[in-house]
């Protein structure tokens, strides 16, 4: 492991001073749970000269539901606290589901959504659900704040739009639309502690007391260099009565957004098949949650 300096500032201002001295991409790396970062440093996959522990900064611990604004999850909030937060339980099933899939109870007690996002793996489980709800990340640094739509955040495996002097301060999830439901499923070869072979989050909005879909959002994990939206599948659903046949068609279309690789976890062909199945299942779960069982 390359030698590094550990700093644990207690204010955003102090963190900004550390970030201002960043010598280039990855020179200063934020640390929350360390469940990705520490092992990556051990094998020299990430070689920061400064590790910036953000857990003592009050703004990073924000966990709040603001009516009209939505959910604010500070970067240092662990998955366990997110899962137990009432607004997450009530309003965002897919986020509730995905945070409970990250590793194990022990991992969830340390790991954060911001770390899942900052690590920027295509397999990140918390990301597809967040994308379907139109989540943004609030980015902070010595040059100020900016908001980035999560679906535009990732630029490649392990890569994102953050500048060397920027970190995530919080994840902001807009309030869910009325009469909406979202769910996330992933496939792994065993029950837990594995990385998704493929993952799908779906979110649909129905016109009141009907099966007519007004909005559909579908996002995929582990089947492209970054998490991706399956826009063609969304278009199949929007403006139409949701039926079992339409859900099957959406599953077929979702594959258009996938450009999977073959690796030890599964072949590209297998992953494409999983996208179809998981899209169908998550859409069926959304309909069921809205009291409109299909097929
Ligand atoms: C046994 C095990 C099982 C796992 N299972 C899963 C799983 O099922 N699903 C899954 O998706 N992941 C899994 N992971 C990966 C990991 O736990 C998650 O990605 C987790 O969410 C990372 O959060 P963290 O707080 O530990 O991040 P850290 O390790 O602290 O950070 C991860 C990366 O994000 C960056 N980062 C952290 N915070 C910020 C910030 N505020 N701003 C900018 N960048 C930041 C860090 O610099 C680092 O590069 C697993 C890991 C282990 C060890």
Evaluate whether 60-173 and 180-289 have a shared fold: no
Domain 180-289: give its CATH code.
3.30.390.50
pLDDT digits (tens, 9 = 90+) for 96-131: 999 999 999 999 999 999 999 999 999 999 999 999
pLDDT digits (tens, 9 = 90+) for 39-57: 999 999 999 999 999 999 9
Yes or no: say if 135 and 113 are a contact pair by the CB < 8 Å rule.
no
- The confidence band for 193, taking pLDDT boundaries of 50, 70 and 90, is confident
Distance CA 126, CA 147 (A): 19
- Is residue 166 in contact with ligand 1, taking CB distance under 6 Å? no
Q: Which of 135, 133, 8 is nearest to 60 (CA)?
A: 8
- Is residue 103 in contact with ligand 1, taking CB distance under 6 Å? yes
Yes or no: say if 147 and 170 are a contact pair by the CB < 8 Å rule.
no
Question: Which ligand 1 atom lies nearest to the CA of residue 32?
Answer: 30
Q: Tokens representing 210?
A: 């009907």
pTM for this predicted structure: 0.97
Distance CA 181, CA 92 (A): 8
Yes or no: say if 205 and 180 are a contact pair by the CB < 8 Å rule.
yes
Domain boundaries, the chain: 5-53, 60-173, 180-289
pLDDT at residue number 31: 98
Yes or no: say if 221 and 200 are a contact pair by the CB < 8 Å rule.
yes
Asked whether the predicted pLDDT for residue 295 surpasses 90, the reply is no
- The confidence band for 194, taking pLDDT boundaries of 50, 70 and 90, is confident
What residues contact 179, with CB distance under 8 A and at least 6 apart?
205, 206, 207, 208, 290
pLDDT at residue number 18: 98
Distance CA 94, CA 77 (A): 18
pLDDT at residue number 163: 98
Yes or no: say if 64 and 88 are a contact pair by the CB < 8 Å rule.
no
- Is residue 102 in contact with ligand 1, taking CB distance under 6 Å? yes
Sign of CA dihedral 18, 20, 22, 23: negative
Percent of the chain with pLDDT over 70: 100
pLDDT digits (tens, 9 = 90+) for 68-104: 999 999 999 999 999 999 999 999 999 999 999 999 9
- Is residue 193 in contact with ligand 1, taking CB distance under 6 Å? yes
Average pLDDT, the chain: 97
Q: CATH says 60-173 is which class? A: alpha beta
Compute the distance from residue 200 Cα to the ligand 1 centre, in Å. Answer: 19
- Is residue 31 in contact with ligand 1, taking CB distance under 6 Å? yes
Question: Which of 6, 115, 227, 265 gets mutated to test ligand 1 (max ligand atoms within 8 A of its CB)?
Answer: 115
Question: Which ligand 1 atom lies nearest to the CA of residue 101?
Answer: 8
- Is residue 80 in contact with ligand 1, taking CB distance under 6 Å? no
Q: According to DSSP H, which parts of the chain are helical?
A: 12-20, 37-42, 79-84, 86-91, 93-99, 105-110, 113-119, 126-132, 231-237, 244-254, 268-289
- Is residue 124 in contact with ligand 1, taking CB distance under 6 Å? yes
Compute the distance from residue 211 Cα to the ligand 1 centre, in Å. Answer: 38
pLDDT digits (tens, 9 = 90+) for 148-161: 999 999 999 999 99
């Amino acid at each position: 492991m390359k030698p590094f300096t550990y700093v644990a500032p207690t204010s955003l201002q102090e963190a900004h001073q550390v970030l201002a001295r960043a010598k280039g991409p990855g020179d200063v790396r934020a640390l929350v749970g360390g469940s990705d970062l520490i092992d990556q440093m051990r094998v020299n996959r990430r070689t920061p000269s400064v590790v910036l522990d953000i857990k003592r900064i009050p703004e990073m611990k924000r966990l709040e539901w603001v009516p009209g604004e939505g959910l604010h999850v500070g970067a240092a909030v662990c998955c366990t606290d997110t899962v137990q937060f009432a607004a997450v339980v009530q309003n965002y099933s897919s986020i509730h589901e995905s945070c409970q899939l990250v590793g194990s109870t022990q991992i969830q007690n340390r790991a954060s959504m911001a770390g899942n996002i900052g690590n920027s793996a295509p397999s990140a489980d918390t990301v597809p659900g967040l994308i379907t709800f139109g989540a943004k990340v609030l980015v902070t640094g010595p040059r100020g704040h900016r908001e980035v739509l999560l679906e535009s955040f990732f630029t490649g495996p392990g890569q994102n739009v953050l500048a060397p002097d920027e970190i995530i301060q919080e994840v902001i999830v807009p309030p869910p639309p009325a009469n909406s439901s979202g769910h996330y499923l992933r496939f792994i070869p065993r029950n837990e502690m594995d990385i998704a072979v493929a993952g799908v989050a779906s979110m649909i909005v129905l016109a009141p007391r009907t099966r007519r879909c007004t909005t559909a959002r579908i996002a995929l994990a582990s089947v492209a260099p970054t998490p991706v939206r399956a826009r063609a599948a969304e278009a199949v659903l929007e403006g139409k009565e949701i039926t079992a046949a339409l859900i099957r068609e959406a599953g077929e279309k979702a594959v258009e957004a996938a450009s999977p690789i073959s690796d030890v976890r599964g072949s590209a062909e297998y992953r494409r098949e999983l996208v179809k199945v998981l899209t169908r299942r998550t859409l069926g779960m959304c309909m069921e949650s809205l009291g409109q069982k299909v097929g």
